[in-house]
Structure 1
Amino acid sequence: EFCYLFDCGEGTQRQILLADLNPMKLNEIFITHWHGDHYLGLPGLIDTMSFENRLKPLTIYAPEAERLTNLLDLGYFSKEFKITPKDVPAKGCQIKKLLETSDFKIVSLPVRHNVAAVAYSLIEKDRVKINKEKAKMVGLPAQGLIYREIKEKGRVIFEGKKIEFEDICLVEKGKKIVYSGDTEICGNLIRLAGDADLLIQDCTYFDSERKEKYGHASLEDVVKMVEKAGVKRVILTHISRRYRDLEKLRRRLRDYPTLTVAEDFMKVTI
């Protein structure tokens, strides 16, 4: 089981507890940029981990990661666990692999905000599944090391018969989740979001007013990008406080069935 937190604004640990989640299970934290609504929850969350005697090291990824050290120097933290800041590139157009497991990887790419900022993507690896009926038809046993061999080598000789990977295996495409952080729509974001199963997207404005000045996206921008990038589902977040009528916003999305307004404690299955 893996547990990751993307951005940690003020009140994050309160929401974690209200959602009946355990902050001690967090493996890593990923900060998109150093505006207060994306990181000010870190000191309180780290204090809570200390009070509850966390020993497991915590890695925090962020652009300009040295700012984390400055943040933690502001108070007296009696932590017994190690915190490792890891810098995430905030310039250029190269996708950076940050971590990888046997099941998935997490990558980052710089985006366009009014400070150094990045977007993140969790990309699940393709899964190979055995079609038991086809395996039975070619005479393979119900189980055994032979299946590992065919996955690794792409073919196997069994009782004098050559069996190809494609004869008995199916490849299930891994899922892809992208979190934009705060950003205008830009080439890097479109590339990272390409064919995503889920995009969690900054949509500060439901009109086009002032978006260029502040480095955020509007609904119009998002709709165009989703079509271009082939995104399957979008959750709109970071919506300006000027839009207080959520039901009105949902009505605006009736013509866009793949777009949804984010809600507190929302659970999503993909």
Structure 2
Amino acid sequence: MTRFDVKILGCGSAMPTTLHNPSSQLVNANEKIFMIDCGEGTQLQMRKFKTRISKLHSIFISHLHGDHVLGIPGLVSTLNMLGRKGDLNIYAPKEIEPLFSATLEFFCPHREFQVHLFPLNDKEFNLLYENKSLRIYSFPLKHRIPTCGFLFEEKEKPRHIKREMIDFHQIPIHQIKAIKAGADFVTDKGKVIPNDMLTSPANPPRRYAYCSDTAYYPDIIPYIEGVDVLYHEATFAEAEAVRAQQTFHSTARQAAEIAQAAGVKKLLLGHFSARYTELNDLLREAQAIFPNTHLTFEGMDIIL
């Protein structure tokens, strides 16, 4: 099975705290490393947790609040000092372009690689990136400014060959690819051997969804339905539900209600307000609705 895992670099919210770093995660999909959000100090977290900073493929920015984006200039500068040659793609709201271009021109004018900005569509479900094994989508969240969530989805793999059946029916090697893709086998005598006798189903494609920052927003359920792991912001406890509504954030209970309604397999809570020095109340609130809920923490690895 190919690699598909997530590393939490930061799971705090906007107010700086010594307990949590601002938002950032790394998704390793088949040895390609993608970053989601890049708050202040992200590159230090990459060093601390011994991630392969030089292998970073692309960055996905959910929205343009500082705790999700202010780490980019320092990260780009460091990549340049490390001798990066390959271009870096950044997917972000279009409003980032004038500020970001000026910042990079001032601090990193002699880069040996190009930074390409791709504007996000915050109105609909949208395919951002695709390779042989993976698709990455964005979808709209509900926040004070245009904000997107992200869905990382493996492509469906070919069916598994039953080697003993291939040998028994003496199937030529050149037909194996078609059989893995679902074809039946026809013998020299015209007998049809059904595909399900020759193969077994492939492992289901794995899916990871990221939803931060957002108010309680059931409209996202069709985009995240049935994912293996959902990261959903839980900035506040239910006692602060009014504050959550005012600031377009979610409570831990609301995150759990979304997870339950979407039928996800595992829920990760993050983007914790600096007012909480202890998070077990948030965890209990969510687990009362959706038992398979976990708190994120810096350095946490999630294996899908």
- Indicate the residue corresponding to 1:236 in structure 2: 269
Does residue 268 in structure 1 map to residue 290 in structure 2?
Answer: no
Q: CA-to-partner distance for each residue in 1:5-55, whole Å, 9 max, x for gaps?
A: 000000000000001012110110000000000000000000001111111
Q: Which amino acid aligns with 1:264?
A: E
- Indicate the residue corresponding to 2:216 in structure 1: 185
Matches within 5 A, 1:47-62: 47-62=77-92
Higher relative contact order structure (alpha carbons within 8 Å, sequence separation ≥ 6): 2
Give the counterpart of 1:205 among 191, 214, 236.
236
More displaced 10-residue stretch of structure 1: 239-248 or 27-36: 239-248
- Give secondary structure in 1 for the equivalent of 2:256: helix
Percent identity, aligned pairs only?
27
Matches within 5 A, 1:37-116: 37-64=67-94, 66-74=95-103, 75-77=106-108, 78-91=110-123, 94-116=124-146
- Indicate the residue corresponding to 2:39 in structure 1: 9
Change (3 A) 1:210 1:83: same
- TM-score when scaled to structure 2? 0.81
Change (3 A) 1:251 1:223: closer
Q: What is the CA RMSD across the aligned residues, in angstroms? A: 2.0
Query: Is the contact between residue 235 and residue 261 of structure 1 (CA under 8 Å) also seen in structure 2?
Result: yes
The count of corresponding residues between Structure 1 and Structure 2 is 266
Does residue 259 in structure 1 map to residue 293 in structure 2?
Answer: yes
- Give secondary structure in 1 for the equivalent of 2:301: coil
More displaced 10-residue stretch of structure 1: 47-56 or 165-174: 165-174
Q: 5+ residue gaps in structure 1?
A: none
Q: 1:129 deviation in Å?
A: 3.2
Q: 1:201 deviation in Å?
A: 0.8
- Indicate the residue corresponding to 2:24 in structure 1: none
Q: Which amino acid aligns with 1:145?
A: H
Give the counterpart of 1:25 among 27, 51, 55.
55
Q: Which amino acid aligns with 1:164?
A: P
Q: Which amino acid aligns with 1:241?
A: A
Q: 1:181 deviation in Å?
A: 1.9
Query: Is the contact between residue 134 and residue 167 of structure 1 (CA under 8 Å) also seen in structure 2?
Result: no
Does residue 168 in structure 1 map to residue 198 in structure 2?
Answer: yes
Q: 1:145 deviation in Å?
A: 2.5
Q: 1:156 deviation in Å?
A: 2.8
- Indicate the residue corresponding to 2:183 in structure 1: 154
Query: Is the contact between residue 267 and residue 294 of structure 2 (CA under 8 Å) also seen in structure 1?
Result: yes
Does residue 218 in structure 1 map to residue 251 in structure 2?
Answer: yes
Q: 1:246 deviation in Å?
A: 3.2
Q: 1:247 deviation in Å?
A: 4.4
Mapped partners of 2:176, 2:195: distance in 1: 9
Mapped partners of 1:68, 1:220: distance in 2: 36
Mapped partners of 2:251, 2:285: distance in 1: 13
Q: 1:138 deviation in Å?
A: 5.3
- Indicate the residue corresponding to 1:196 in structure 2: 227
Change (3 A) 1:7 1:186: same
Q: Which amino acid aligns with 2:243?
A: R
Q: CA-to-partner distance for each residue in 1:52-84, whole Å, 9 max, x for gaps?
A: 1111000000122x4144223133312110110
Q: 1:177 deviation in Å?
A: 0.3
Mapped partners of 1:57, 1:133: distance in 2: 42
Q: 1:155 deviation in Å?
A: 2.2
- Give secondary structure in 1 for the equivalent of 2:242: coil
